[in-house]
Amino acid sequence: MNKYFGRYLQRICFTLLMICALAFSSFAQNQPEMADVMRSNGKIYVVVTVCLVILIGLFLYVWRIDRKISKLEKNA
Amino acid sequence: MRKSWWKILSFLLLVYTIIAGFLADVPRLFILNETIRNLYFHVCMWMGMMVLFTLSIIYSIKYLGKNDYRYDIYAKNYASVGVLFGLLGYATGAIWANYTWVTDQGQSLGAVLKEPKLIGAAIAVLIYGAYFVLRGSFIDMDKRARVSAVYNIFAFAMLFPSIWIIPRLVGSLHPGAPGSDSGNPALNYKDIDSRLRMVFYPAIIGWTLLGVWISTLKIRLELMKEKSLLHE
C-alpha cells in the first residue's frame, strides 16, 4: 500500500516539475529577463504574498489566544 | 481550541479571498478601475457588522426573556466586535471614496460631507457607541443588563433607516442610491458581476466567521472573569 502511494507521489512530483520547467523555459526563450512568478504581472504576487503573511500571522495570533483561554477554562 | 472546524473554514475562505481577490478577473469600469476589489474587503466589514449586531440583539432578547446574566455578556461582546467592524468599514470607505469620488469624479468636499450614506453610517455606529456609554453608567448589574438589552433593540432598529433605507431614498454618491438604478448594490443580481460574486460571498462568510471567533474569545474571557457572579 505504502509502496504504491510512494510511486504515485513520485510520478506526480515528476510531472509537476516537468510542467514548471517547460513553463519557465518558454519564458526564457522570449525575453532575457528572469521571469519567475514573484516578478511577473507588475509584481502583484508580491502584494498577495505580503497580505497572506499578515493574514496568517493574525490567525496564528488569534488561534494562540484561543488555546490559552481553553487552557484557563480547563484549569478553572 | 473548541469546535474548530468553522475557524479553519474562516481561515481558508480568507486565504481564498486574498488570492482570488487580488488576482481574479474583475469587470473593467471607469473611475472604479481596480478599486472594485474593495468589494471583498470594505463591503464585507459592513456585512460582518450586521451579522454581529444581529447576534447581539438575539442575546439581548434572550436576556430579557430568561434574565440569565450570561446572555448579557454575549450581547455586549458581539456588539463591541460589531462596532469594531463598523469602524473598519468606515475607515476603508473613507479611503475608497477619496480616490473615486473626490479625486477621479471631481466631487467637492461639501458633496462628500453631505453624503447620506456616510451620515447614516456614522449615526448607526454612534448609536452603538451610546450603548456602551449607557452600560458604563450603571452600578447595579441587573439594571445595567436589562436597560442596555432594551436599548440594544432600539439601536438595532435604528440601523435600518440610517444605513439601509434613507441613503436609498435620497441622492447619494454611494452605490444603491436612486439614479444608480439599483436596489442593494451588493446583493442585486443585475448590479454585481458573477465574477465578483464568486469571491464576494465566500469573503463575507470568512470575515463574518473571523468576527464571531474574536467575539467568542472575548465572551469566554469575560465568562471566566464573572464566574463568581454566574454561579451564585
Q: Does B6 touch chain A (CB under 8 A)?
A: no
In a domain? residue B216: no
B2 touches chain A (CB under 8 A): yes
A42: left (phi over 0), alpha (psi -120 to 50) or beta: left
Out of A56, A59, A69, whose CB is closest to B217? A69
Interface contact flag, A51 B22, Cβ < 8 Å: yes
Phi, psi of B162 (to 5 degrees): -75, -35
A37 inside 8 A of chain B by CB: no
**For every residue of B142-184, which 3-state class applies, written as one string?**
HHHHHHHHHHHHHHHHHHHHHHHHHHHHCCCCCCCCCCCCCCC
Determine whether the interchain pair B224/A73 forms a contact, defined as Cβ–Cβ distance below 8 Å. Answer: yes
- SS3 per-residue string spanning B72-126: HHHHHHHHHHHHHHHHHHHHHHHHHHHHHHHCCCCCCHHHHHCCHHHHHHHHHHH
Residue A70 has its nearest CB partner, among B1, B7, B11, at B1
**Out of A44, A62, A70, closest to residue B2 by CB:** A70
Asked if residue B220 is part of any domain, the answer here is: no
Predicted pLDDT at B182: 45
State percent of chain B over pLDDT 90: 62
Convert the pLDDT of each residue in B69-86 to its tens digit: 999 999 999 999 999 999
Residues of B with Cβ-Cβ distance to A52 under 8 angstroms: 15, 18-19
Q: Check residue A76 and give its pLDDT.
A: 72
As to burial, measured by CB atoms within 10 angstroms (0-12 exposed, 13-18 middle, 19+ buried), residue A64 is exposed
Instruction: Tell me if chain A has a CB within 8 Å of the CB of B9.
Output: no
Q: Report pLDDT digits (tens) over B11-70.
A: 999 999 999 999 888 888 777 788 889 999 999 999 999 999 999 999 999 999 999 999
Residue A62 with chain B: CB contacts under 8 Å: 210, 213-214, 217
* Confidence band for B97, pLDDT divided at 50, 70 and 90: confident
Answer yes or no: is B212 within a domain: no
Q: What is the pLDDT of residues B131-157, one digit of tens each?
A: 999 999 999 999 999 999 999 999 999
- Distance, in Å, from the CA atom of B149 to the CA atom of B223, rounded to the nearest integer, reads 18
Per the structure, the complete domain to which residue B54 belongs is given by 29-205
Output the pLDDT for position A34: 63
Per residue in A11-50, pLDDT tens? 666 666 666 565 555 555 555 666 567 766 678 888 889 8
**In-domain check, residue B22:** no
Residue B213 in domain: no
Q: A51 vs B220: CB contact, 8 Å cut-off? A: no
Residues of B in contact with A69 (CB under 8 A): 217, 220-221, 224
For residues B226 and A31, give the distance between their C-alpha atoms in angstroms, rounded to a whole number: 66
Question: Does a structural domain hold residue B15?
Answer: no
Chain A partners within 8 Å of B217 (Cβ): 62, 65-66, 69
Which chain A residues are within 8 Å of B7, Cβ to Cβ? 63, 66
Picking from B54, B50, B57, B52, the residue whose alpha carbon sits closest to that of residue B153 is: B57
Q: Could you say which of B2, B7, B18 has the minimum Cβ distance to residue A55?
A: B18
Is position B221 within any domain? no
Count of domains observed in chain B: 1
CB B172 within 8 A of CB B115: yes
Cβ distance A51 to B2 less than 8 Å, yes or no, reads no
B22 and A47: CB-CB below 8 Å?
A: yes
Per-residue DSSP letter, B199 = H
The identity of residue B33, as a single letter, is: N
Domain annotation covers residue B8? no
